[in-house]
Structure 1
Amino acid sequence: MAGVRQFDEQQAYAAALDVFWTKGFRSTSMLDLATATGVQRGSLYHAYGGKEQLFLRLFEQFANDFLARVADALKPSDPHEGLLRFFDCCIASITTGSPSRGCLSTRTAVEADPGAVEDAVRKLLDDLEELVFEALPAAGLTVERREAARLVVAHTRALAVLERVYGDPARLRETAATLVSALVR
């Protein structure tokens, strides 16, 4: 039947996202994606337009899922506890797998040329900053609220790098806890 996808789109999305996450945007080819998804390259091109368009679709879904998880972690609570849960959520995301896959958004940010992919990462970071900002109290911080939110988001990128170097989730949690203690009175 013309126009009807002959493959399980959610299964293909999961397989394609895993390839991008493991190899990075730049190193992933359409052949890699076709092999991982079990979908012919021509069908992928027809369904999504190309590698960048497929990545952008996958990244948007990834970003929405990730933002929902961190928003839940930041639910109204003691700011210290909320930030610790936020960082636990971020650390879980980058240490999943064996070996761990690292941070999709940080890896993509480092590889991305100016354009739609870079814009998608920027949107995720901006949305993440806004979630943190909204969760922080107006008082009780050692720095201004907006700067605290930016520092927290910047620290998530630092944790992604430390994960690649040390591969030690306990060390990441200790580093995050130190930042939280420095920010929240």
Structure 2
Amino acid sequence: MARPRTFDEKQVLTAVRDQFWDAGYAATSLEDLMRVSGLGKGSLYAAFGDKRQLFLRALRSYTEDSHEALRKALSEPPRALDALRLLLDAPIDDPTGTRRGCLMANSTCELGNADPEVLAHAHRTYETSTALIGDCVARAQREGDLPSGADPIALARALLAAQQGLVFMSRTGLDTATLAATAQSLAAQLLPDRTDAR
């Protein structure tokens, strides 16, 4: 009879996810995964499968957490327009975390051409993010803070592209002040002042 697991699966996935996030897929070795997880090869593979399967599990865990955080961030401010502006500020407010970039974007750049499953997951991830942001845009329109005639999904895609661009720029070592000024410029163009929208 198989022995019960004596480790926290979520904790192991988080440690493994951080390793892939820091080093990338190709540069992460089995020894790295054993070291960060605290598990032997047999236990690691018995619980999660081979390196690729473990990576895909970690990537799904990352996107689930990211979407939950996005839902929370978009729903907390009293007005939707403020939530959308905060979306562009996020890469600047947490520069230490974003210097690693977005794990989904990093993984798509590294593996998207070679691994159709990663590419398909990336597509689903960004479509879900777009839909969540689009709902917030529609709420801002109902609140009278954005023009009612604009396509919420089109604006959501533009906002997501802008936010991901800021995350990427942060990885180049761009200073915080320049990132903040860029975010403000993007917000001014994509999310006009309430008085201008009315």
Task: Please give the range of the TM-score, normalised by the shorter of the 2 chains.
Answer: 0.7 to 0.9
Match of 1:106 in 2: 105
Are positions 1:164 and 2:148 aligned together? no
The CA distance in 1 between the partners of 2:149 and 2:162, in whole Å, is 16
Question: What do you get for the CA RMSD once the two structures are aligned?
Answer: 2.4
The CA distance in 2 between the partners of 1:168 and 1:143, in whole Å, is 33
Cα distance, 1:49–1:154 mapped onto 2, change above 3 Å: same
1:84/1:180 contact within 8 Å kept? yes
**1:104-163: per-residue Cα shift (whole Å, max 9, x none)?**
121111011232222222221111111111100345279532221111111222112201
Cα distance, 1:123–1:26 mapped onto 2, change above 3 Å: farther
Normalised TM-score (structure 2): 0.80
Of all paired residues, the percent bearing the same amino acid is 31
The CA distance in 1 between the partners of 2:31 and 2:105, in whole Å, is 24
Cα distance, 1:94–1:120 mapped onto 2, change above 3 Å: farther
Shift of 1:77: 4.2
Q: SS where residue 159 of structure 1 aligns?
A: helix
Which structure 1 segments of 5+ residues have no match?
none
Q: SS where residue 21 of structure 1 aligns?
A: helix
Normalised TM-score (structure 1): 0.85
Shift of 1:73: 1.6
Cα distance, 1:27–1:88 mapped onto 2, change above 3 Å: same
Match of 1:30 in 2: 30
Which structure 2 segments of 5+ residues have no match?
193-198
Cα distance, 1:127–1:173 mapped onto 2, change above 3 Å: farther
Q: Which amino acid aligns with 1:105?
A: M
Name which of structure 1's ranges 134-143 and 52-61 shifts more when overlaid on structure 2: 134-143
Indicate which of 132, 135, 147 corresponds to 2:154: 147
The CA distance in 2 between the partners of 1:174 and 1:80, in whole Å, is 19
State which structure, 1 or 2, has the greater radius of gyration over its C-alpha atoms. 2
The CA distance in 2 between the partners of 1:182 and 1:48, in whole Å, is 45
Q: Report the number of matched residues.
A: 183
